Amino acid sequence: MIWNSVEACSRSEMQSIQLDRLQKTVGDIYDKNPVYKKRLDEAGVKPADIKSLDDIRRIPFTVKDDLRDNYPFDLFTASREEIVEYHATSGTTGKPIVVGYTRNDIETWSEVMARCMTSCGITSKDVLQNIYGYGLFTGGLGAHYGGLKIGAGVIPISGGNTQKQIMLMQDFGTTSLTVTPSFLMYLYEVGVEMGVDFKKLNLRTALLGSEFWTESMREKIQESFGLKAYDIYGLTEITGPGVSCECHEAQNGMHINEDYFYPEIINPATGEALPVGDEGELVFTTIGKEGQPLLRYRTRDITSLSLEPCVCGRTLIKMKKLTGRTDDMLIIRGVNFFPSQIESIILKHQGVTPNYLVVVDRQGTLDEVEVRIEVTAQYATKPVHEVFNESADQIVSDEMATRDIVKALVRDIKDVVGITVKVTLVPPGTIPRSEGKAKRYIDNRQKR
């Protein structure tokens, strides 16, 4: 089922909508926002210069620091009076990033979220437990608006409240979940301890976003809960969740709501625009936003786009599951390394859980990587063992089972990532759980 016929329009119809909206957006920004006007003037671009979609390449990029530098409201295009809702990122370092929505922006957000939910097969018959945090974080209210728009029964429980989450899933007959994958797996652990069999509940759909997760994690979640798990993508700066989402027919690649969010892929090193199909950094221009439209915003997310026809009938361009973030990319001994790559490796092994933390440090001039992984309850009572490199004589364990797990993990990580890491198995529950985005790595090298 498709929520809005525009999702299946022809390429030329889509391009015509995009060009109209792009021209209007650039015109509005130029007229109403002095910061942007100055930048466009400096780049020698006037709104009238945007005659085709390719002319977007003449416009300078916007980056996260532009939002911080213009904190809180200097990139707003609408007046403060027109703003009806504010959101912000958590801003763990320095000032947060603020976004303002007009009434039309909230309507657009509801619309794109309604499309995403419909695309995953969620309907007015569903009971939707919204586990995303409500508040300044966009996840909670974004999913809430989408749920209301399609007429689902929304349970606005927000994050946390682990035991109550499970109680409501049982008592309210929850069918759909909106949640981060790491918190969902945490709910599973707690539920299993409580003796809950999630497969016996009514759960059938989970929309998972706001952090990286792999295909192996999808299999694990689907198997554990007896539901279908879909990837949904978004970011606060652009609108929050609802920028793109998988469809249940293909469950492979996220259809971008490109009549509102115009995507490009660029070479992150040079800024050069790349053709459809190439992997690079994802860039969005919001072409239907009033409060704080952004021109060519660099997301730092690495992916590729595809215009291959989809079995669901949508013609919206697709983006692949993210392969990483340019700012999460660590360079270890000269090798590019995304901590998220570890996850799919861990999930192939018995005896360990997907709760992991990558710790990078420097001993002298040498970068060292430690991967801490929680063992399953089966190993909980056994001592924790360590191993360094592949050389067997350095193994300090005399416990065969955990030693074999560690050896296999070190080998597989070396195969996939190309570097030798130290694997430390830690007891269950010792790696901090997140109720929002999971923090998967710590880089201590800068502190030295």
Q: What does the binding site for Zn ion look like in residue numbers (CB under 5 A)?
A: 247, 250, 310, 312, 314
The least distance separating Zn ion from the CB of residue 447, rounded to whole angstroms, comes to 45
Q: Which helix (H) or strand (E) holds 181?
A: helix 181-193
Tell me which amino acid residue 243 is.
Answer: V
Phi, psi of 100, deg, nearest 5? -120, 140
| DSSP one-letter code for 267 | -
Output the smallest distance, CB 318 to Zn ion, in A.
Answer: 7
Residue 326 one-letter amino acid: T
DSSP string, 398-436: --HHHHHHHHHHHHHHHHHHSS--EEEEE-TT-SPP-SS
Supply the minimum distance, in Å, between the C-beta of residue 253 and Zn ion: 7
Burial code of 192-201, b = ≥16 C-beta within 10 A, e = fewer?
A: eeeebebeeb
Which residue number, 113 or 247, has a Cβ lying nearer to Zn ion? Answer: 247
Least separation in angstroms between residue 220's CB and Zn ion is 23
Q: Least distance to Zn ion from the beta carbon of 439, Å?
A: 32
Query: What is the crossing angle of helices 138-150 and 103-119, to 10°?
Result: 70
Torsion of CA 268, 269, 275, 277, to 10 degrees: -60
Q: Which is nearer to Zn ion, 9 or 250 (CB)?
A: 250
Is the Cβ of residue 247 or residue 409 nearer to Zn ion in the bound state? 247
> 268 and 281 in contact (C-beta within 8 Å)?
yes
Closest contact distance (angstroms) between CB of 267 and Zn ion is 28
- Gyration radius of the chain over CA positions: 23
By beta-carbon proximity to Zn ion, the closer residue of 22 and 256 is: 256
Which lies closer to Zn ion via its Cβ, residue 220 or residue 255? 255
Amino acid at 402: T
Q: Round to whole Å and give the CA distance between 208 and 187.
A: 14
Q: Which is nearer to Zn ion, 103 or 248 (CB)?
A: 248
**Given phi > 0 = left and psi -120 to 50 = alpha, else beta, which region is 245?**
beta
Q: How far is the CB of 177 from Zn ion (least distance, A)?
A: 21
36 membership: H or E segment, kind and range = helix 34-42
15 close to 54: Cβ distance less than 8 angstroms: no
Instruction: Give min distance, CB of 247 to Zn ion, in A.
Output: 3
